[in-house]
Amino acid sequence: MQGLIVAAYGRRFLVECPDGRVRDCVTRGKRNDYACGDLVNISPQGDDQGAIDDCGPRQTLLYRSDHWKQKLIAANVTQMIMVVAPVPSFDLNVLDCCLAAAEHAGIRPLIVLNKVDLPESAKSAAVLALYTEMGYPLLHLVATGGVAELLPQLAGQRSVLVGESGMGKSTILNALVPQAGALTREVSASLGTGKHTTSHARLHHLDAQSDIIDTPGVQAFGVHHLGVDGLAAAFIEFRSYLGQCRFRDCRHLEEPGCAVIAAHDAGHIQARRLMSYRNLAQGILRQQKRY
């Protein structure tokens, strides 16, 4: 039987099946590389349990990685919604990493600035102007007053909500799916995991063509899996200059004849973005030397 993973809890997954049942499934052997949004083949065990046999082909996979491990976030998504807010202040480095991961995976990014009713939002909007100038869409929102502005962006998409803790992701989700909190608490109780309302990824259907995946808040979003070349390509303002450097293996750090550095010096690439790229690239290179 084929089903859709609608929740990921470590080595246990909730799989929505064609017969309308949601089965609590475990994996076979040591394999655990499944994500919310995966289409999987399962062997049902009774009415409400099963075992995952294998996974179908993925159109996209969003995940993060650090020095030690990778964390699968969501599969087969078409859009990443990065939620930021003026209070508490958001980390631009986390935003850069999320955008780079989405670009690398071929997922459309959308930045949502929540809590724009706060006076601090003007400063946040000015900071985010850098991203709109590069072509990233930015949506202003006051989720406590409703999410009508967001709805057209969700139609026909499988979106994943990403952001640091405190940005308002839960408020957005509860406005879109009023029963989301109750569903998550019910699942947590049945699995014996306690009241971890946003500690695991959970897929919700908005309508027959639109889904949204809620994810835990992140304080860091590693992109070591991109490698230095993939990272450079994921910084969209670098792309027109890649392949024009003096050296074919240019890392765009301090090499002479670097087209990316020349573009920065000419004012075509912002200093903060170049610094962000360099910090990430140097971290990837240090990891490569270590292993």
Residues 6+ apart with CB under 8 A from 209: 155, 156
Q: In this predicted structure, what is the pLDDT of residue 34?
A: 95
Query: Sorting pLDDT into bands at 50, 70 and 90, what band is 193?
Result: very low
Q: What is the mean pLDDT of residues 192-202?
A: 57
The alpha carbons of the chain give a radius of gyration, in whole angstroms, of 20
In a domain, 125, yes or no: yes
In a domain, 242, yes or no: yes
Query: SS3 for 174?
Result: helix
Q: In this predicted structure, what is the pLDDT of residue 196?
A: 38
Residue 194 reports pLDDT greater than 80 = no
* Rounded CA separation 215/30 (Å): 24
Contact indicator for 215, 74 with CB cutoff of 8 Å = yes
Identify the CATH number of the domain in which residue 285 sits. Answer: 1.10.40.50
pLDDT in tens, 70-101: 899 999 999 999 999 999 999 999 999 999 99
In a domain, 180, yes or no: yes
Identify the CATH number of the domain in which residue 19 sits. Answer: 2.40.50.140
DSSP H/E element including 232: helix 227-234
The count of domains in the chain is 3
* Rounded CA separation 5/74 (Å): 10
- On whether both 46 and 168 belong to a single domain, the answer is no
Of the three residues 55, 81, 100, the one that is the final residue of a domain is: 55
- On whether both 153 and 262 belong to a single domain, the answer is no
- On whether both 165 and 91 belong to a single domain, the answer is yes
In a domain, 219, yes or no: no
pLDDT in tens, 148-191: 999 999 999 999 999 999 999 999 999 999 988 645 555 555 55
- The CB-side HSE value for 76 (13 A sphere, CA atoms) comes to 17
Of the three residues 33, 55, 77, the one that is the final residue of a domain is: 55
In a domain, 38, yes or no: yes
Spell out a b/e string for 41-76, using b for 16 or more CB atoms within 10 Å of the CB, else e.
Answer: ebebeeeeebebeebeeeebbbbbbeeeeeebbbbb
pLDDT in tens, 29-77: 878 899 999 999 999 998 899 999 999 999 999 999 877 788 999 999 9
Residue 28 reports pLDDT greater than 50 = yes
Q: In this predicted structure, what is the pLDDT of residue 183?
A: 52
Q: In this predicted structure, what is the pLDDT of residue 288?
A: 76
Q: What is the mean pLDDT of residues 127-154?
A: 97
Predicted TM-score (pTM) of this structure:
0.90
In a domain, 21, yes or no: yes
- On whether both 65 and 197 belong to a single domain, the answer is yes
pLDDT in tens, 214-265: 999 888 899 999 999 999 999 999 999 999 999 999 999 999 999 999 999 9
Instruction: Print the domain residue range for 141.
Output: 61-214
Helix, strand, coil fractions of the chain, as percent rounded to 5: 35, 25, 40
Residue 203 reports pLDDT greater than 70 = yes
- On whether both 31 and 116 belong to a single domain, the answer is no
- On whether both 210 and 235 belong to a single domain, the answer is no
In a domain, 133, yes or no: yes
Q: In this predicted structure, what is the pLDDT of residue 181?
A: 67
Q: In this predicted structure, what is the pLDDT of residue 243?
A: 96
Q: In this predicted structure, what is the pLDDT of residue 287?
A: 80
Amino acid (1-letter code) at residue 127: V
Q: In this predicted structure, what is the pLDDT of residue 26?
A: 94
Instruction: For the chain, give the percent of residues with pLDDT over 90.
Output: 82
- On whether both 84 and 202 belong to a single domain, the answer is yes
- On whether both 44 and 79 belong to a single domain, the answer is no
Spell out a b/e string for 115-124, using b for 16 or more CB atoms within 10 Å of the CB, else e.
Answer: bbeeeebeeb
- On whether both 167 and 204 belong to a single domain, the answer is yes
Of the three residues 214, 236, 254, the one that is the final residue of a domain is: 214
Q: In this predicted structure, what is the pLDDT of residue 13?
A: 95
- On whether both 34 and 131 belong to a single domain, the answer is no
- On whether both 190 and 229 belong to a single domain, the answer is no
Identify the CATH number of the domain in which residue 106 sits. Answer: 3.40.50.300
In a domain, 276, yes or no: yes
Please name every residue paired with 113 in a beta bridge, in sequence order, or none if there are none: 84, 140
- On whether both 209 and 281 belong to a single domain, the answer is no
Structure-block tokens of residue 32: 């655990």
